[in-house]
Structures are given as C-alpha cells and as structure tokens.
Amino acid sequence: MLPEAHCIHQSPGRLRIRIPAGKGNKAFFAYLQEQLGRCRLVTAAAANPVTGSVLISHSGNVRAIAEYAEKNNLFRFVPGGKNPGGVAHVTVTTYKTLDAQIRNLSGGELDLPHTAFLTLVGAGIYQISRGKFGAPAWYTAFWYALNIFLKAQAKKEKSS
C-alpha cells in the first residue's frame, strides 16, 4: 500500500506535500527526492524527513505529478486533507467566495474592495455624526477606505 501524501501548500510552480507515514525516514525521503527528480515535470525536489514533507518545484500540473508518483509507487495523493492550504488558503478562498457573492448580489457593480471602502467611509461618517471628532476611528476608517480604493483601482488598471 502506498503512503498517503497531503498537499499542505501550493502556488504556481511550487507544491509542498506532507507524507506523515514516512516522517523521520531518511532513506525513504532520499529515495523520494531522487525519483521525483526523474519526473520530466519536476524541476527540483527537496525532501525533509524531519518534517515529513517534500517541496516540489515544477513546470507542469499537479495532477500529472501525482499520477507519476502513483505510477512509480512513491505515494498516493489524498485530496482534501485536514488543512490542504493552511490559513492563507482558507483566507484566500473565503475572500474569493465573498467577493463573488457581492458581485453576484450587486449585478457586477460592486466587489469586496469597493464594499469595504463604502463600509469604512460609512463608519467614518457615523463617527463624525456622533460627534466623535477626537476619536481616531473616523479618520482611520477614511484612511483605510482610501487605501483599499486606491489599491483596487491600481489592480483594475494593471488588468486592463
């Protein structure tokens, strides 16, 4: 039976997997690093037996690398591990989901950065209307709102 591998981080051209069953086994990870280096899609593989993980730099798609690993009896990818992408993955996924929901509800007129901008401007106006000129909340809200707005504008200009 092949050891199970879980994706713990993925970005374009990089993949980090964890193989809990091999943790601490230097021979296994040395062999794994050597065999992954033979895959035409893998540009580099760095195994760490102490953490039970392998960092794979690649020029292909992860599915093809997973198929190579299974075909060569190295490991079997198990999708949807306990924490496939960590906190960053959860944050990005939540952001993208919320952004898509806002775009859908507004008919494409608003996105998450613009909603945050409007919310922060509204919070600033609310603070002023309550006579809270001395509290930093209203101008801090304006500052953050402006920065979010400017970053969103810059991102739109780059993509155009």
Domain annotation for the chain: domains and CATH numbers:
4-77 (3.30.1360.10), 86-159 (no CATH)
Measured CA to CA, the distance from residue 51 to residue 155 in angstroms comes to 37
**Contacts by 124-130 with C-beta closer than 8 Å and gap 24+?**
none
Q: What pLDDT does residue 135 have?
A: 54
At residue 90 the predicted structure's pLDDT band, cuts being 50, 70 and 90, is low
Q: What pLDDT does residue 84 have?
A: 47
